[in-house]
Amino acid sequence: MANLIDFRPSDYDQRKRALAEKTILHILQPDGHRASMRELANVSVPALRHYFGDRDGVIAAAFGTLTTAGAHHQHRAATHNLDLPIAQSLRWVLDEFTTGWIRGVGPLVTAGIIVGANSGTLGPKFIDVMLEPTLQAFERRLIHHQEAGEIDAKADMRAASLALVSPVILGLMHQIQLGGST
């Protein structure tokens, strides 16, 4: 089979990433999750189709940029301050999570839930890049405390992670994104 020649410009990947990052910024604006394909990155529709195919492709690529952005915070949630007793350790990581939520994670999660609901493409992508890595970080923290004998050795740390994080997300969405604090 003959080698195919790549006719893409040398800055193709860089340009695609920049458009995906612009899309995240747009999605975070009020009603940004409802934006048309053209409004998402403020460029021509043919340009977006060239890089991403369709609207779901644009948003999926935007979610993909979150993997890199969130990796540091998820690593920190899984590994920092593990020498603290379990109650203090969990209080610390939940305080960090809440601070992150207030500084920008909250609108991302909310937008991810809105655009991901009822989408066979965007729902799984959002889970892969945002929710699953967060749950895994909390699970690793809990496993550390389990191995230290602070949690029953037979307890399911995946279920514990879900039980720990889910009410915090719901509470933060209630208070902040849904206006429950008023």
Tell me the range of 62-76, 104-118, 133-147 where mean pLDDT is highest. Answer: 133-147
Distance CA 50, CA 134 (A): 32
Given this model, what pLDDT does residue 171 score?
96
What does pLDDT average to over the chain? Answer: 89
Domain ranges in the chain are 12-177
Residue 1 clears pLDDT 70, i.e. is over it: no
Residue 173 clears pLDDT 80, i.e. is over it: yes
Cα angle 74, 78, 81; round to 5? 120
Residue 178 clears pLDDT 70, i.e. is over it: yes
Given this model, what pLDDT does residue 104 score?
84
Architecture of domain 12-177: Orthogonal Bundle (1.10)
Distance CA 22, CA 7 (A): 25
pLDDT band with cut points at 50, 70 and 90 for residue 27: confident
Given this model, what pLDDT does residue 4 score?
57
Q: Which residue has the higher pLDDT, 108 or 133?
A: 133
**Helix (H), strand (E), coil (C) string for the chain:** CCCCCCCCCCCHHHHHHHHHHHHHHHHCCCCHHHCCHHHHHCCCHHHHHHHHCCHHHHHHHHHHHHHHHHHHHHHHHHHCCCCCCHHHHHHHHHHHHHHHHHHHHHHHHHHHHHHHCCCCCHHHHHHHHHHHHHHHHHHHHHHHHHHCCCCCCCCCHHHHHHHHHHHHHHHHHHHHHCCCCC
Task: Name the token pair of 34.
Answer: 């409802």
Given this model, what pLDDT does residue 82 score?
96
CB 40 within 8 A of CB 89: no
Distance CA 63, CA 106 (A): 14
Given this model, what pLDDT does residue 23 score?
82
Q: Which residue has the higher pLDDT, 14 or 37?
A: 14
Residue 91 clears pLDDT 70, i.e. is over it: yes
Task: Name the token pair of 100.
Answer: 């992150």
pLDDT digits (tens, 9 = 90+) for 40-85: 767 888 888 989 999 889 888 888 887 777 889 999 999 999 999 9
Given this model, what pLDDT does residue 180 score?
94
Given this model, what pLDDT does residue 5 score?
58
